[in-house]
Structure 1
Amino acid sequence: MTTAPGTAPAPSFPALRRRLTTEVWIVLGLSLGRSGVYALVNIAARLTEGTPLAEQSATLNASRSPRPYLDLTYQLLSIGFALVPVALALYLLSSHGRSAVRRIGLDGTRPARDLGVGVGLAALIGIPGLALYAAGRALGVTVEVQASALNAAWWTVPVLVLAALQNALLEEVVAVGYLTERLRELRWRTPAIIAASALLRGSYHLYQGFGPFVGNVVMGVVFAEYYRRRRRVMPLVVAHTVLDVVAFVGYALVPAEWRDALGLS
């Protein structure tokens, strides 16, 4: 087969595989892969510091300044820069003029269905996840997770909602949509793709202990399999956002005695 004059020949599969493999490592190194490495080091530090995991804690969404508007600035900058890898992944998937948003089903063409499926997935994952967290606390293999430690301000709840959306976009676009598409192009088998996505998701939650690691691996299997079947990441973004909004915003609304009983405080 010949190529038209002035047209570069198509790269061989080995060359394409090398390029895509390097690309995947770069994207993960800038985002969730980096978080996974830090989480692995963190859990090693926790296990060797002499204090049982059950007596340690991890704080999410902490304030960064006692000055409210400076704190707000830091929070918004953190959320914005965390979304850069999402933009990078979508840009890379949009090669040859293809729409990455449509390719991975991040569009708004089915809002009602995506919302319904997302809420259903959130319930499917969230209720057993809470039970698993409580079991992990009881077994001493999970740290105390404080879902929100922001200072009270008029912008606290909106920032927590934005943080939930940012987490959802980053994790579902990169760990599910982008990674699945690239590994398919690298001719990975389906079980290996699902395992890679799920273990990646679990890895960057290791700093919370082994209960959240297991829970997020199970969540990763469910989400990756849904994406394999439906090729839509939007319901996963909805589900993840709902889960995090409930965790972040609802944390302060749960009575203290309930949090104590569940090991949440």
Structure 2
Amino acid sequence: MSNGAAIAPPRVEPLSRPRVIWEICLVLAISVGQSAVYSLLSLIRSALATTPLGDQQTQLNPSRDKVAFWDVLYQFLDIFFSLAIVALVVYLLWEPGTNALRRIGLDFSRFGRDLLRGLLLAAVIGIPGLALYAVGRILGFTVAVVASPLGAAWWTVPLLLLSALRAGLTEEVIFVAYLTDRLSRLGWGTWGIIFFSAALRGLYHSYQGPGAIAGNFVMGVVFAWCYRRWGRVMPLVIAHTLLDTVAFVGYPLAAALWPGVFVPHK
């Protein structure tokens, strides 16, 4: 302007309650909520089958095609588009004048502390989780989870590591950071948000059986509580990625050492 007057920034209106509700429903419908519905249906179908639950199995990161080139391409694209949904959620959290990544603590500004917290969380959740899975397999109420064999091809391990990162980002950013922000705007209390997030996480993994529902519910409560206390999602992403890396990459070794627990009963 010729008189040198500054232009006032546009006023940002707060999100209305109906818009927040619709946004939450749409985000869940295209991401973890959709997966939770299919997972629950899978559990119901398994429970109604003539084969006992303990004799059934489900595979993590299954092959997408018999031809190696197309298999790796499809798996890579699946990871890419899943991360695109995470990016969309972060975009929805972005507000003028703020940095959404910094606000939810998904940056490297405190990486040393985040790493230590992530390692601690992975140990606190991973060891009891493995024990719960083993008990569930022994008692026959948990489906055998089969991971991809490590020797399938040279790209198997890198893809499994990307899959672990994808799971960590998807679940922690949406289940914890996004839902905490949006449900808080709706007036939900701390424990209401924590229990809702944890229940949704449990349903998300229900295809593995009742043991997985219980274990992931507890994990969800701990992770959501830590996020409320620390204000950062990065430690949760680190812990989750480490847990899934052990599950995806370390599973074949565990299956070889303890086949009665990690493979279906005969």
Counterpart position of 1:84:
84
Would the alpha carbon gap of residues 10 and 156 (structure 1) be closer, same or farther in structure 2, given more than 3 Å must change? closer
Counterpart position of 1:106:
106
Kept in 2: contact 1:61–1:150 (CA 8 A): no
Q: How does 1:196-207 map to 2 (within 5 A)?
A: 196-207=196-207
Would the alpha carbon gap of residues 95 and 9 (structure 1) be closer, same or farther in structure 2, given more than 3 Å must change? closer
List gaps (5 residues or longer) in structure 1: 1-6
Counterpart position of 1:4:
none
The code of the aligned residue for 1:217 comes to F
- CA displacement 1:2-28 (0-9 Å, x = unmatched): xxxxx78956xxx81111011001001
> Normalised by the size of structure 2, how large is the TM-score?
0.91
CA distance in 1, matches of 2:157, 2:11: 53
List gaps (5 residues or longer) in structure 2: 1-9
CA distance in 1, matches of 2:21, 2:159: 35
Counterpart position of 1:188:
188
Secondary structure of the residue that 2:145 maps to in structure 1? strand
1:179 aligns with 2:179: yes
Counterpart position of 1:143:
143
Once the 2 structures are TM-superposed, how far is the Cα of residue 49 of structure 1 from its aligned partner?
Answer: 1.6
Is the deviation greater in 97-106 or in 228-237?
A: 97-106
Q: How does 1:7-46 map to 2 (within 5 A)?
A: 10=13, 16-46=16-46
Once the 2 structures are TM-superposed, how far is the Cα of residue 135 of structure 1 from its aligned partner?
Answer: 1.1
- CA displacement 1:147-177 (0-9 Å, x = unmatched): 2257711111000000000000000000000
CA distance in 2, matches of 1:148, 1:255: 11
- CA displacement 1:156-199 (0-9 Å, x = unmatched): 10000000000000000000000111111111011100001101
Once the 2 structures are TM-superposed, how far is the Cα of residue 98 of structure 1 from its aligned partner?
Answer: 1.9
CA distance in 2, matches of 1:9, 1:263: 53
The code of the aligned residue for 1:221 comes to V
The code of the aligned residue for 1:234 comes to M
Identical positions, percent: 54
Kept in 2: contact 1:89–1:174 (CA 8 A): yes
Kept in 2: contact 1:63–1:149 (CA 8 A): no
- CA displacement 1:196-243 (0-9 Å, x = unmatched): 110111011000000011000000000000001111000000000000
Would the alpha carbon gap of residues 200 and 83 (structure 1) be closer, same or farther in structure 2, given more than 3 Å must change? same
Would the alpha carbon gap of residues 230 and 8 (structure 1) be closer, same or farther in structure 2, given more than 3 Å must change? closer
Give the aligned length.
Answer: 257
Counterpart position of 2:224:
224
- CA displacement 1:66-121 (0-9 Å, x = unmatched): 22221110110010011122111100100234211011000100111111110110
Kept in 1: contact 2:150–2:249 (CA 8 A): no
Counterpart position of 1:263:
262
Quote the RMSD (CA, aligned, Å).
1.9
Secondary structure of the residue that 1:145 maps to in structure 2? strand
CA distance in 1, matches of 2:219, 2:11: 43
CA distance in 2, matches of 1:10, 1:108: 30
The code of the aligned residue for 1:263 comes to F
Runs of 4+ in 1 over 4 A off after TM superposition: 7-11
Is the deviation greater in 61-70 or in 231-240?
A: 61-70
